[in-house]
Amino acid sequence: MVQEQIIGRGIKDLRVIKAMQEVPRHLFIPEALLGQAYGDFALPIGEGQTITQPYLVAYMSEALGLKGEERVLEIGTGSGYQVAVLAHLAWRVYSVERIRSLLERARKVLDQIQCWNVITRLFDGTYGWKEEAPFEAILVTGGSPSIPSPLKEQLKVGGTMVIPVGSRSSQKLLKIRRTATGFLEEELRECNFVALVGEYGWEKQERIS
């Protein structure tokens, strides 16, 4: 997986490559899909949610430019795979999930592989994590109609946020840098995430169109 999908497609950050080698992806996959754990795609993890494609996990991790000293906020724990990768790249990672069953399963695996620097919370992550803010990096793993304002407020000056913004079916992955005077926005690529649902995200009910 790492040779073909990660290095082969241009991921260069050696710390990201090492993290992708070290985190056992199969532990985060439902048993029935184990045979596909290292495939080049997202997979369902229950509750209508997905574990992100390996390449995109590496790509987003690289985009955050982590050196190892940062406190990072992830919104959308899901399977826990992305946060396990971030745990290898940063000092501490705070991860928020809104679906209890997913969070409980993720927490079990994170404990099993001894990710002690990951702190999780059941909450609407569009509010961020005010008590622990500000963060040097924020990664949102659900697609949002816009950038939730609490997340902008909780990003440190000099910090980076990576977030998919667009419609429910397709988004642009944005990289936001907070400067002393404002925010710089860069479009990284097209992507397709499940919805970020919450106060500053999408409404819970799918609209009937």
Q: How far is the CB of 179 from ligand SAH (least distance, A)?
A: 27
Q: How far is the CB of 121 from ligand SAH (least distance, A)?
A: 9
Q: Give the C-alpha separation, 82 to 54, whole Å.
A: 9
Q: How far is the CB of 42 from ligand SAH (least distance, A)?
A: 8
Touching ligand SAH, residues 90-109 (CB under 6 A): 96-99, 102
Cβ closest to ligand SAH, residue 98 vs residue 107: 98
Taking CB under 6 A as the binding criterion, the range among 12-20, 108-116, 178-186, 189-197 that sits at the site for ligand SAH is 189-197
Which of 45, 57, 35, 144 is closest to 104 using CA atoms? 45
Cβ closest to ligand SAH, residue 36 vs residue 179: 36
Using the Cα atoms of residue 172, residue 13, residue 107 and residue 138 in order, give the sign of their dihedral: negative
CB 71 within 8 A of CB 89: no
Binding mask 119-158 for ligand SAH (x = CB under 6 A): -----xxx--------------xx----------------
Determine how β-strand 135-140 pairs with β-strand 171-178.
Answer: unpaired
Q: Collect all residues with Cβ–Cβ distance below 8 Å to 137 and sequence separation of at least 6.
A: 64, 65, 66, 70, 72, 73, 90, 159, 160, 161, 162
Cβ closest to ligand SAH, residue 125 vs residue 166: 125
Helix (H) or strand (E) holding 162: strand 155-166
Q: How far is the CB of 57 from ligand SAH (least distance, A)?
A: 6
Q: Give the C-alpha separation, 25 to 18, whole Å.
A: 13
Which of 57, 59, 67 is closest to 25 using CA atoms? 57
Taking CB under 6 A as the binding criterion, the range among 3-11, 59-67, 78-86, 151-159 that sits at the site for ligand SAH is 78-86
- The radius of gyration of the chain from alpha carbons, rounded to an integer in Å, stands at 16
Among the listed residues 23, 43, 51, 110, the single contact to ligand SAH using CB under 6 A: 51
Among the listed residues 82, 120, 154, 171, the single contact to ligand SAH using CB under 6 A: 82
Residues near ligand SAH (CB under 6 A): 49-52, 75-76, 78-79, 81-82, 96-99, 102, 124-126, 141-142, 194, 196-198, 201
